[in-house]
Amino acid sequence: MYKILLRQDLVPNIHLFKVAAPAVAEKAQPGQFVVIRIDERGERIPLTIADWDRDEGSVTIVFMEVGTTTARLALLEAGDSIADFVGPLGVPTHIKKFGTVVCVAGGVGVAPISPIGRALKNAGNKIISILGARSKGLIFWEDRLRSFSDQLIVTTDDGTYGRKGVVTVPLKELLESGEKIDRVIAIGPSIMMKFCSKTTEPFGVKTIVSLNPIMVDGTGMCGCCRVSVGGVTKFACMDGPDFDGHQVDWELLFARQRIYLDEERRSLELWQCQCDAHS
Amino acid sequence: MAKLNLNRVPMPRQNPRVRGRNFNEVALGYSLQQAQEEASRCIQCPKRSCADGCPVEVEIPDFIKALRDGDMPEAVRILKSKNSLPGICGRVCPQEIQCESTCSLAKKGAPIAIGRLERFVADWERANKGSLDPPLVSEPSGKQVAVVGSGPAGLTAAADLAKLGHSVTIFEALHVAGGVLMYGIPEFRLPKEIVQAEVDYVASLGVKIELDSVVGKLVTIDELLNNGYRAVFLGTGAGLPMFLNVPGENLNGIYSANEFLTRVNLMKAYRFPEYDTPVKIGKRVAVVGGGNVAMDSARCALRLGAKEVYIVYRRSEAEMPARREEVENAREEGIQFKLLTNPKQFLGDEQNWVVGMECYEMELGEPDASGRRRPVVKPGSEFVINVDEVIVALGTTPNPLIAATTPGLESTKRGTVVADEATGKTKKDKVWAGGDIVTGAATVISAMGAGKAAAADIDRFLRG
């Protein structure tokens, strides 16, 4: 069992847990993920590592309530425990001095991108960050992003904070500005990562995305997370989750993310119904 | 001398029409009377050739004699002195090509049903827990051994090493111990309660089991060796699924057998939505492959509610690697066999869901490297099978993670680790390996035999 040391509600439906997992904290690298299972009945879901503290022996995860598992997770408090917390999984993000790197974070993607941006900054890169959200009330960790960014651009879809519009607009402006951009890291909803990749492709700027297909074991055993990259089938859990965004078959990713839509709906309805009955 | 009885006592089984809709065990097990009747068929021949056919060297005639005489504690003691997982072996070992094939009665009639008797003795012990003396464990050696993987090879090596007095820790990547016994083999063939009981027995010998521990990520082999472990045994199996690599294989509704079985068995998707993990339930399901894993997948799909389930296999029935018994069970339950058939490509709809499988008809040519006749495509024979779910059960290869993170460990082109056949010693100092990681996908019992041999060699090394 893995104890939750701290819980923070970052925005109404996005929560942070700091979990006691000393061995995972010891090995965690930017870009890696953990697979968690809440309890005996739970499913195994991957969550990208948002931070870690080796002295404290803790790993931080940030998740958005989207289905039964994340809704059940959101009911836990500090002091409660999670049955399983497996990691660190996946290949760490490639960190070296590239020059100027643009980090594009969409929604909950700001959490996983933070350790990557920090490591890239420490490696001597100039960091320009773009933080996008639907609305002002959904923005979190702006300070954290600012702490390692030489420049930070915030966008909201509804214009309630920062620039109105989506992240690809300032991304395109940067690419057109004449400043040499050596690399782009985009993490967020799949559709946002796709459009970031489409935006950078004409400029030939290498763009790394962190894919989030459905997984079961997270160790290469099942092949559920297969994605097509450059025409070759890869397992996101073992070969990724980072891939070259220009090579990803996005339509396949979207299609495979929809496999269990009906079941997810059914499960969530049943669970909400049980919750109502008990409240 | 009493007249030879050449017919074995039949195994009571669930009716095929009933069992095709539930996940309860198919074979129900002998009663004490049936077990003793079967045991008394054994002529206790001096050749003891059955024991020669057992990879873990069970003293078969002795436990059968104790069972026949009604001395159950003695039967248990004899069996478990060599085999720590008898409830598992009694159910899933291919006895027909091992101990039973060398039984003296096999020349004249039905060999003794050794597997069924083994199962009976193991089940008796589980039902009569606490009535037996704890197993003998040697004086502590004070030496630590790490076992990577808790499948049949790892559990056997760990149990033997613990009995020899060593301090053993198993590192398991998943959230339960048992490996393929838990995630792969379905409940109706090997109830998880039995696997758990045998895992608990291994733990009762003093073996520590660290779950959720992915060796190669959380800790490397060299780190284990530098942190107090005097030897490491690798029993990580063959966990990486093989695909056909034909067009359309990433369509929705196409599973590897590993994924399908893991969802159903390990994650209990057959009890969705009570359990959170879902699995798709197709109406027309094709399972590609002809081994035990293909039979298991097909029979799971049927139990989940599929209307039609096909086994699609590129050779003929004679070449199928599955146990005869499992092929017969599958056929009795209504699984349809499309033999000499091989997928060319998968066809999808606009939502990326699989709707069909274009296949070739095959014919058998000259024998290939495996000694079986090579299947060759009949030109122009393409036809389409309408399916809404496909399970690819072509076999598995070892996960490359350990090899990639362990300098000095030699592996083959097939991804298997090079190890001495008799001792399991790898090319790397202080590291042994056994089971599917060395042989590629094989049987539970051969993995156990390798675990046993490696444990003996590790013990020699630690005492040397």
The predicted-structure confidence for A97-116, as pLDDT tens digits, reads as follows: 999 999 999 999 999 999 99
Contact A213, A256 (CB under 8 A): yes
Q: State yes or no: cis peptide before B46, omega within 30 of 0.
A: no
**The tokens of B21 are what?**
């809709």
Q: Nearest Cα to B247, choosing from B356, B340, B341, B381?
A: B356
CA A243/CA A82 separation, integer angstroms: 30
DSSP character at residue B322: S
pLDDT for res A183: 98
Q: Is A34 exposed, middle or buried (0-12, 13-18, 19+ CB in 10 A)?
A: buried
Strands A126-133 and A100-106: parallel
Instruction: Give the residue from chain B lying closest to A67, CA to CA.
Output: B276
CA A115/CA A147 separation, integer angstroms: 11
Strands A183-187 and A207-210: parallel
Instruction: Give the residue from chain A lying closest to B214, CA to CA.
Output: A87
Instruction: Give the residue from chain B lying closest to A231, CA to CA.
Output: B247
Best of A84, A222, A235 to substitute, by most chain B Cβ atoms within 10 angstroms, is: A222
Nearest beta carbon to residue A228 from set B239, B250, B275: B250
* Residue A33 zone, left/alpha/beta (φ > 0; ψ -120 to 50; rest): beta
Best of B277, B349, B401, B436 to substitute, by most chain A Cβ atoms within 10 angstroms, is: B277
CA A94/CA A87 separation, integer angstroms: 18
Q: What is the mean pLDDT of residues B344-367?
A: 95
Nearest beta carbon to residue B276 from set A27, A42, A251: A42
Q: Is B228 exposed, middle or buried (0-12, 13-18, 19+ CB in 10 A)?
A: exposed
* B363 band by pLDDT with thresholds 50, 70 and 90: very high
Buried b (16+ CB within 10 A) or exposed e, B73-102: eebbbbbbbbbbbbbbbbbbbbbeebbbeb
**The tokens of B173 are what?**
């990547």
Contacts of B278 in chain A (CB under 8 A): 43, 260, 263-264, 267
- Does B399 sit within 8 Å of A217, measured CB to CB? no
- Does A217 sit within 8 Å of B173, measured CB to CB? yes
Longest dimension (CA), chain B: 74
The B-side interface with A (CB below 8 A) comprises: 173-175, 183, 211-214, 217-219, 239-241, 243, 245, 249-250, 252-253, 255-256, 258-259, 262-263, 267-268, 272-278, 280, 351-352, 399-401
SS3 track for chain A: CEEEEEEEEEECCEEEEEEECHHHHHHCCCCCEEEEECCCCCCCEEEEEEEEECCCCEEEEEEECCCHHHHHHCCCCCCCEECEEEEEECCCCCCCCCCEEEEEEEHHHHHHHHHHHHHHHHCCCEEEEEEEECCHHHCCCHHHHHHHCCEEEEEECCCCCCEECCCHHHHHHHHHCCCCCCEEEEECCHHHHHHHHHHHHHHCCCEEEECCCCCCCCCCCCCCCEEEECCEEEEHHHHCCEEECCCECHHHHHHHHCCCHHHHHHHHHHHHHHHHHHC
Question: Which strand (E) or helix (H) includes residue B121?
Answer: helix B114-127
* A270 band by pLDDT with thresholds 50, 70 and 90: confident
Q: What are residue B158's phi and psi, to 5 degrees?
A: -65, -45
Contacts of B175 in chain A (CB under 8 A): 37, 44, 83-84, 86
Best of A3, A41, A265, A270 to substitute, by most chain B Cβ atoms within 10 angstroms, is: A41
pLDDT for res B132: 65
- Does A37 sit within 8 Å of B217, measured CB to CB? no
CA pseudo-torsion sign B92, B98, B103, B105: positive
**The tokens of B26 are what?**
């198919």
pTM: 0.94
Q: Does the pLDDT at position B1 exceed 50?
A: no
- Does A85 sit within 8 Å of B250, measured CB to CB? no
Percentage above 90 pLDDT, chain A = 92
**The tokens of B293 are what?**
């894993």
Q: Which residues pair with B362 in a beta bridge?
A: B377
Nearest beta carbon to residue A233 from set B213, B250, B274: B250
More confident position, B408 or A276: B408
Buried b (16+ CB within 10 A) or exposed e, A181-213: bebbbbbbebebbbbbbebbeeeebbbbbbbbb
Q: What is the mean pLDDT of residues B13-17?
A: 92
pLDDT tens for each residue of A43-68 = 999 999 999 999 999 999 999 999 99
* Through-space distance between the first and last CA atoms of chain A, rounded to whole angstroms: 27
- Does A260 sit within 8 Å of B252, measured CB to CB? no
- Does B258 sit within 8 Å of A255, measured CB to CB? no
Location of structure tokens 């809709």: B21
DSSP, collapsed to helix, strand or coil, labels residue B232 as strand
Q: What are residue B313's phi and psi, to 5 degrees?
A: -135, 140
pLDDT tens for each residue of B106-140 = 988 999 999 999 999 999 999 997 666 677 788 89
pLDDT for res B134: 72
**The tokens of B255 are what?**
């599973």
Q: What is the mean pLDDT of residues B300-305?
A: 96
The A-side interface with B (CB below 8 A) comprises: 23-24, 27, 37, 41-44, 68-69, 72, 83-89, 216-217, 219-224, 226, 228, 233, 238, 251-252, 255-256, 258-260, 263-264, 266-267, 270-271
CA neighbours closer than 13 Å in the CB half-sphere of residue B23: 18
A/B interface, count of CB pairs below 8 Å = 113
DSSP character at residue B401: H
Q: How many residues does chain B have?
A: 464
Q: What are residue A182's phi and psi, to 5 degrees?
A: -95, -25
pLDDT tens for each residue of B19-36 = 999 999 999 999 999 999
Strands B167-171 and B208-210: parallel
- Does A255 sit within 8 Å of B352, measured CB to CB? yes
Q: Nearest Cα to A103, choosing from A31, A52, A191, A161?
A: A31
Q: Nearest Cα to A128, choosing from A156, A152, A145?
A: A152
Q: Does the pLDDT at position B163 exceed 60?
A: yes
Contacts of B281 in chain A (CB under 8 A): none
Location of structure tokens 């994340």: A70
Q: How many residues does chain A have?
A: 279
Distances (CA, A) of B323 to A133, B8, B41, B296, B298: 57, 19, 24, 11, 14
Q: Does the pLDDT at position B395 exceed 70?
A: yes
* Residue A159 zone, left/alpha/beta (φ > 0; ψ -120 to 50; rest): left
pLDDT for res B130: 63
CA neighbours closer than 13 Å in the CB half-sphere of residue A199: 25
Instruction: Give the residue from chain A lying closest to B349, CA to CA.
Output: A255
